[in-house]
Chain A
């Protein structure tokens, strides 16, 4: 089943075009890497697909429902309940402990504090950082922070996880450890993942790779807008 669909997405920042007519689909449980050089529109595409930004033109659909026409409140609710969002850095609340950070989306969804903490501890354990449950982000390493952030993005068991350069601020080894855990858990949960990266070795974790260049998809001649550049679907 198609989980996400984009048709003719156009988005500009003032006079500068970021997306110039992107059409793509992502299937349920699929892990798709969006790659390309800096400034090619990768993050903007992710923001449009996740409903964070509204495109200037074109459509974004989630499981057949157009979400680009929804109100901001409705799109926020969708992100809170069905999507998980992961960024490069700066996403953990500095004043909350790791467990509180991970529990935050559940608390927002109305889960009780005790149940939310239990779930948070489970997810921290899955990422191997359970012992940091009561530690604040400032006392963690970058890798530990990113593991907590990933746990927070997955704690609601979202159908789609959007990850924007999730290992961009980590060293190679730590980055690969975090990504391995993320991909393993996503596959276990059948979570669809849209992964933004400019590193080929990170893109190698994905089932499929979409290359952007100057706001358009770099076609490969396979007849699809979203097509692999290096060897098709792995």
Chain B
């Protein structure tokens, strides 16, 4: 096949295909922006002479301090997780139509390799366009945001640029990764010359074993402090890696556990369904519980990190309050140090962005679900089922597993965050105490044998559970989901049109 034909076939398709291409390009754009932002942070030079010297040209300590830049870049890179989840949802958009098109190409004589190549090329081209637009946006944004303050300091690293090989790597590697992911996803699809597309389904219902992963994460977090205390400073550098492993175990457990939650809530809803909307939702949840896992993956991951960050914030806030109190008592003034709280602000911002991106992924999934089932929905509407009933069933279908899954994510995230931030124990003064009778203590010959040094006036402070923040996170996620469902249901009318029922 000539390259021109190959490309023409790759970009052919209907409106849904065009939407998939556009959303894939958008995902690549967002991912490239995140990677370029992280590379920009890493491109900041430390002043020569001292490896710990601050880069004073920046207003933000996260950019100024060399020890914090790696973590900042990593936090920005974490944003690519929801973006990749969005890309995964986009790849499913219009998949049945695309599969039929691929089967038709096989019927016309294309080889299985050519058919896979066409799908891979579609994703690769869309991603390449996305990364190129992302690079252009980055360069333009960098110029527009280069606004030094009166002291000549910058809020963002707009004075540095990743190296040319790095820029080239972003533009080329992201489309290649996306294309490879598409090839991987297509491994379960067989387009035969007879136009039949076969899929192998995931076997068996979801089991509750992901709870073990969550338990592992919690256990790991619980062991951190004792290990840290026992090992002194020797394992400090492994602390960050350990936190990540624990967090990812919990995130994975929550995401996979969402499938089990979907199935259980579906069965429960089925047992107690009192309306057709509930019955329809229960049927869908029981039939494909993995959909919940796929749908909410990015959202739940964001919530686990968000709840963990809330625990860190509570700890930082408490520490800040204690220090301010001590400073005030010692006449050192207010002495506020909100550096760590500002760092958590950055994490919160990342979580908010992740929730927004995850909501976009959810919207894509909803529209895809409605489109894939349009004939059934159209038949129901033709039979007199109000569209509102179908809309409400979609709402039940989304919210029923989501609410417990959100609670689980918040609970797991907060618990891990809290365990990593133990109570603050303030030591009091050392005092000599004699633990014997008055006579023995009074006698200099015996007193020393019965005296010991003890701390007095020590205090243990426990951070409050940040219920308001956790509630805000949960409510925000549910509100974003409700908004998404509302937008998705708007597509019901056009997908339940009577034209869907024409016998052909």
Contacts and interface: CB of A to CB of B under 8 A. Distances in A.
Nearest to B270: A100
Contact of A53 (B288, B383, B384, B498): B498
B276 interface: yes
A73 B386 contact: yes
A78 interface: yes
B382 A85 contact: yes
Contacts of B498: 47, 52-53
Interface string A42-73: 01000100101100000000000000000001
B184 to A, nearest CB: 27
B197 to A, nearest CB: 16
A159 to B, nearest CB: 13
A113 B383 CA distance: 19
Contacts of A127: none
B384 A168 contact: no
Given A85-B382, A153-B383, A94 B503 contact: no
B222 interface: no
A80 interface: yes
A91 interface: yes
A113 B269 CA distance: 13
B280 interface: yes
B379 A87 contact: yes
B190 interface: no
Interface in B488-504: 498, 501-504
A87 B389 contact: no
Contacts of A77: 384
B385 interface: yes
A179 interface: no
Given A50-B382, A83-B384, A107-B275, A43 B283 contact: no
A108 B385 contact: yes
B381 interface: yes
Contact of A43 (B276, B287, B502): B502
Contacts of A194: none
A208 interface: no
Chain A, interface SS category: mixed
A8 B383 CA distance: 25
A92 B389 contact: no
A2 interface: no
Given A90-B375, A91-B376, A92-B376, A105 B383 contact: yes
B284 interface: yes
A5 interface: no
Identify the interface centre among A53, A73, A91: most chain B CB within 10 Å of its CB.
Answer: A91
Interface string A69-111: 0000100111111011101111111111000100011011000
A173 B171 CA distance: 60
Identify the interface centre among B280, B373, B379, B383: most chain A CB within 10 Å of its CB.
Answer: B383
B273 interface: yes
B274 interface: yes
B279 interface: yes
B501 A94 contact: no
B286 interface: yes
Contacts of B276: 104, 107-108
A209 interface: no
Interface residues of B, number: 28
Contacts of A100: 279, 283
A30 interface: no
A79 B280 CA distance: 20
A88 B273 CA distance: 29
B385 A87 contact: no
A52 B276 CA distance: 21
Nearest to A96: B283
Contact of A105 (B287, B384, B501, B504): B384
B386 A76 contact: yes
B356 to A, nearest CB: 30
Nearest to B385: A108
Contact of A93 (B273, B376, B381, B501): B376
A177 to B, nearest CB: 20
B399 interface: no
Interface string B259-280: 0000000000000011110011
Given A88-B503, A164-B501, A93 B384 contact: no
Contact of A95 (B273, B287, B501, B504): B287
Contact of A80 (B274, B376, B385): B385
A41 to B, nearest CB: 11
A46 B139 CA distance: 59
Contacts of A95: 280, 283-284, 286-288
Given A91-B376, A96-B283, A100-B279, A165 B503 contact: yes
Top 6 nearest A-B pairs (CB, nearest first) are: A80-B384, A95-B283, A79-B384, A91-B379, A90-B375, A95-B287
25 contacts: A43-B502, A47-B498, A52-B498, A76-B384, A77-B384, A80-B383, A80-B385, A85-B383, A87-B382, A87-B503, A88-B504, A89-B375, A90-B501, A91-B375, A93-B376, A94-B287, A94-B376, A95-B288, A100-B279, A108-B384, A113-B274, A136-B287, A152-B383, A153-B383, A196-B503
Given A85-B384, A96-B283, A108-B385, 11 more contacts: A43-B501, A76-B381, A79-B383, A85-B379, A87-B382, A91-B383, A93-B376, A94-B376, A95-B287, A107-B275, A196-B503
Interface of A: 43, 47, 50, 52-53, 73, 76-81, 83-85, 87-96, 100, 104-105, 107-108, 113, 136, 152-153, 164-165, 168, 196
